[in-house]
Structure formats: structure tokens, C-alpha cells
Amino acid sequence: MPIVNIDLIAGRSQAQLKALVQDVTSAVTKNTGAPAEHVHVILREMQPDRYGVAGVLKSDEK
């Protein structure tokens, strides 16, 4: 049972998230042979003020 965890900054549409889950599931089934019904994809969305790169919060980027 493959489990894929994806952390991303919040702000994508429901359609984008749905397409992401479908594409990741397809890639996992193609490359592992696992049936799609056994592939679990977990999306964890972070608020931009809870994630930083190089000392700068994403919410502070211009």
C-alpha cells in the first residue's frame, strides 16, 4: 500500500488538488504496479505565514 504525503502552501483550487491526486496516483501505479485503490495520497496544506524559506515567510514575499 503506497502512501504519498504532499506538503504544500494553501491556495490551490479544488480542481487543482483533485488533478494532483489523480496524477500522483497514476504515476505511482505506473511505476510500482500497485493498484490505484491501494494508493493513498495525503495532502497537507500550510498557510503562507507558517512556512518560510531563507528566513522569509512566504506570506512576506512580494
Tell me if 32 sits within 8 A of 3, measured CB to CB.
no
Q: Which of 2, 20, 21, 34 is catalytic?
A: 2
pLDDT, one tens digit per residue, over 20-50 is 999 999 999 999 999 999 999 999 999 999 9
pTM of model > 0.75: yes
Domain ranges of the chain: 3-57
From CA 47, how far away is CA 59, in angstroms rounded? 8
2 is catalytic: yes
C-alpha cell at 53: 524559506
From CA 45, how far away is CA 39, in angstroms rounded? 19
Domain 3-57 carries which CATH code?
3.30.429.10
